């Protein structure tokens, strides 16, 4: 085991977006069936287009975030402690603009 905290802090990452892509073989809703992978891809694309993916904001698939719905995916942005449910790919630009600014200019180190 290696402690990598200082190295990671030195990279300049400010935010980590977790997107639920949980799959569940049951009668209950799960984000895998509610656009989870598509939402994650749309978030990465939006950030890449603004040179913020992995330079400032990281994105990870997550297991259940406790906001399951058939209508869309659960997303949380840490350490802001922001939480969203029922996110669809079409919602991603509005969600990220509200958090980071239209061109991600509200992130440190961005234009």
Q: Is residue 77 a contact point for ligand FES (CB under 6 A)?
A: no
Q: Report how far residue 15's alpha carbon sits from residue 37's, in angstroms, rounded to the nearest whole number.
A: 20
Distance CA 81, CA 45 (A): 22
* Distance between CA atoms of residues 100 and 75, nearest Å: 15
List the one residue from 15, 17, 18, 22 that touches ligand FES (CB under 6 A).
22
Tokens for 105, please give them.
Answer: 């200019």
CA–CA distance, 24 with 34 (Å, rounded to integer): 11
Does the footprint of ligand FES cover residue 31 (CB under 6 A)?
yes
**17: contact with ligand FES by CB under 6 A:** no
- Candidate list 15, 17, 18, 30; residue touching ligand FES; CB under 6 A: 30
Q: Is 13 in the site for ligand FES (CB under 6 A)?
A: no
Q: Which of 43, 47, 52, 65 binds ligand FES (CB under 6 A)?
A: 65
């Amino acid at each position: 085991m290696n402690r990598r905290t200082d190295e990671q802090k030195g990279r300049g990452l400010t935010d980590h977006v977790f997107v639920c892509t949980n799959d569940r073989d049951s009668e209950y809703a799960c984000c895998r069936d509610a656009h989870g992978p598509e939402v994650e891809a749309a978030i990465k694309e939006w950030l890449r287009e603004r040179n913020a993916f992995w330079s400032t904001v990281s994105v990870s698939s997550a297991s259940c975030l406790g906001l399951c719905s058939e209508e869309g995916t659960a997303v949380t942005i840490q350490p802001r402690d922001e939480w969203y449910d029922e996110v669809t790919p079409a919602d991603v630009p509005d969600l990220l603009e509200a958090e980071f600014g239209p061109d991600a200019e509200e992130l440190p180190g961005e234009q």
